[in-house]
C-alpha cells in the first residue's frame, strides 16, 4: 500500500516563500504529482517529478528525493491567490493511478 503525509495547514505572508513537505512510503515508485485546489474548485496540475532533483516552473518549484521518500513544493513571492489546498499524489511502480494525500491548506495573509 501507500502512505502519504502532508501538514494539514500552513500560513504565510504575502511576498514570502513557503515550503510544503510531503513524505511517502510506497512499494515501488513511479512518479509524484502536486496539484493545487482552490476552495470549491477542482484540483489542477502543478508539477510532476520522477527523478531526484528540483523542477522549477515560474514561482513554483518541486523537489524529489526518492531515497528519502520525500518531496516538497516551494512557492516564491507568495500572492493572495496562492491560498489553496496543495495535494501531493504518488504513483507506485507498475500502476497508472496516483494515490492522493489529504492535502495542505495554505493560507496567505497580507
Cross-strand bridge partners of residue 108 = 12
Place of cell 515560474: 58
We find the least distance from the C-beta atom of residue 107 to another protein, in angstroms, to be 16
**Helix H or strand E encompassing 46:** strand 44-49
Give me the 68-97 binding string for another protein, x by CB under 8 A, dash otherwise.
-------------------x--------xx
Q: Which of 11, 13, 45, 80 touches another protein (CB under 8 A)?
A: 45
Q: How many whole angstroms separate alpha carbon 107 and alpha carbon 92?
A: 30
Residues that bind another protein (CB under 8 A): 31, 33, 41-45, 48, 50, 87, 96-103
Amino acid at each position: 500500500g501507500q502512505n502519504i503525509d502532508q501538514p494539514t495547514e500552513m500560513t504565510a505572508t504575502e511576498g514570502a516563500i513557503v515550503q510544503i513537505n510531503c513524505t511517502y512510503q510506497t512499494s515501488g515508485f513511479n512518479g509524484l504529482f502536486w496539484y493545487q485546489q482552490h476552495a470549491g474548485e477542482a484540483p489542477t496540475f502543478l508539477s510532476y517529478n520522477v527523478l531526484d532533483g528540483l523542477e522549477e516552473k515560474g514561482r513554483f518549484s518541486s523537489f524529489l528525493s526518492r531515497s528519502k521518500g520525500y518531496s516538497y513544493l516551494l512557492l516564491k513571492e507568495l500572492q493572495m491567490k496562492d491560498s489553496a489546498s496543495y495535494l501531493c499524489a504518488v504513483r507506485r511502480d507498475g500502476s497508472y493511478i496516483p494515490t492522493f494525500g489529504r492535502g495542505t491548506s495554505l493560507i496567505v495573509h497580507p
